[in-house]
Amino acid sequence: MKAIIICASTHHGNTRKVVDAISKECGVEVIDAVTVHEKDLSEYDLIGFASGIYGAKFHRTVVDFAAKNLPKDKKIFFISTSAMNMDFTKSMAGGLEGKNATVVGKFSCNGYNTFGPFKLVGGTSKGRPNEEDLKNAVEFYKNMVK
């Protein structure tokens, strides 16, 4: 199975740590959506969209990348890190409109956050993602592709 992860991790690199753990262990290609805006994804069987959460949303570059490059009828998954370990994947709706994509998995974990007022208290979720989070992310991916 040929897989790729489209990633944006601009604040503390939390999401990139998660994606890199999966890439290293499972040999998944990774593209930084902040610097790469176009890629032919037709040859991939599985496409991941990974982002830190910014204002309760996936990074705009990931949403835009999906809207511009995601072929129809692909299997996709989501990875996110945030101060609040919640499901923010609805924010990807604009990038997936009309794509008929099948979501096959979602992974999220806490990530160190110093945005806005959190900076005044030294941030939240210090030390996250941690080794356990990275291990869980790799297991999530391995179970998803079984």
Instruction: Spell out the domain ranges in the chain.
Output: 3-145
Question: Both tokens of residue 73?
Answer: 């009828």
Q: Exposed, middle or buried, 64 (CB in 10 Å: 0-12/13-18/19+)? A: middle
C-alpha span between 49 and 29 (Å, rounded): 12
**Full-model pTM:** 0.92
Q: What string of pLDDT tens digits covers the 146 residues of the chain?
A: 899 999 999 877 899 999 999 999 999 999 999 999 999 999 999 999 999 988 889 999 999 999 999 999 999 999 999 887 778 999 999 999 999 999 999 999 977 665 655 555 555 556 678 999 999 999 999 999 98
Q: What is the predicted pLDDT for the residue at 114?
A: 55
Of 70, 64, 16, 80, the residue nearest 44 (C-alpha): 70
Record: fold of 3-145: Rossmann fold (3.40.50)
Closest CA to 18 of 100, 94, 112, 99: 112
Identify the pLDDT of residue 117. Answer: 54
